[in-house]
Structure 1
Amino acid sequence: MKRLVVLTGAGISAESGISTFRDQNGLWEGHDVMEVASPEGWHKNRELVLDFYNQRRKACLNAKPNSAHLLLADLEKDFDVTIITQNVDDLHEKAGSSKVIHLHGELFKAQSTADPSLVYPVNGWEIKLGDKCEKGSQLRPFIVWFGEQVPMMESAINTAEQADIFAVVGTSLLVYPAAGLIMYCSAEVPKFLIDIKLPVLPAMQNLTKIEAKASTGVVKMAEILRDRHF
């Protein structure tokens, strides 16, 4: 079974009504990004940061996967599919994808501030001031903030290197290191680029561009994959 690796970004979740966080003016839900998504912001105002992610979590609780999520999960019937996502929501899991690598963390998990290896599920939508880990330290969102290392990057690179087919869905490829994953694929690997506004990439072999929203583009990709009998 061929290994299909799919890198997904905010565009795939936007069709499920989930905010892409960052507006055109660079603000996230009215906040400067460094206020709510950096270690400095956390140290400055923990209550603000917790509330920001609590609201995101609350909004995601009832969000449903859209046809793009569902079709990627359905492709597991024909391919060994691994999703590498920049999104922190759980829509790929809700859709039924069995192998998901979250590069930027997971919204429905909390992490110890004293010991990053201590990670807990969030029941409901709130992490409150005073919620502590077993070592007595305040819990924080399990999110990779600006200025922090991306712990799952090595796993994502290894997965990209082993891909027989690689797809990029719903991302502008502006956020590194995730944006560089496509460069780890061999030249002969078929690649798909799907977005409503296609990002500019260096010239590369075997690249199929589909300028469309995620749901429409994934359908077209699936048709191509099946027509070519990959």
Structure 2
Amino acid sequence: MKGRIAYRSGSSLLCVDGPIVVIDALQMRATTIVACSLGLEVIPVATVEEAMEWGARGAITAGERDGWKVTTLDIGNSPTALRALDGLLPRRLALTTTNGVPALLSVIGHPHEVLIGSPLNLSALAAQIGGAAELGILIAGRRGPEAEEDEITAALLLERLGVNAPPGLPAPVPAAALPDRFTHTRSGRKLSSRGETDDVALCGRVDLYRIVPRVVQRDPYPIIAGGNR
């Protein structure tokens, strides 16, 4: 298997003869995985206004800008807030974020599967990818400290697949040490300073879920869904 990595935009990965995995470990991918585990379909939208339009149609709305919850939406980009919702949930979650959603939307036109990856579903994700000839990995943040947790997740996935990591990726981190490592990344420190330590801890847990959310509809609007495995 050949692995290719891109940052922020996946336009260079659209020629990959195999799946693309989109990684935004803190926090969009975790929010998406939790949503799908609750039976929700996720509608990724570029703007807050689009999310609010979906809210008017009965969807839960979630999102952030520069890491801060958008006050006009139901919840932030927070997997723990989503898990804490009580009562009967609607069918859909409309989600808008600063980095994760734009990255995902850049590969919506990929002819092969577009999968959602996180430590939370690492083993299930590796099993889903299986023996693909090629794999594209799209990291939502910029190369370097801004995307350290995403690069760590990519390194772990490639290790599980037995694929050599390209130069520049950090060494894989043992699963038990991952929550603490996430806490000490730039994004982890920022989120913790805002009181979101529970989200950081959750996002660093390995194999908590056995689902692999994927893009199941591209037109007239994208839908992400995934079932229990």
TM-score normalized by the length of structure 2: 0.28
State the structure with bigger RCO (CA 8 A, min sep 6), 1 or 2.
Answer: 2
Task: From the CA coordinates, give the structure whose radius of gyration is larger.
Answer: 1
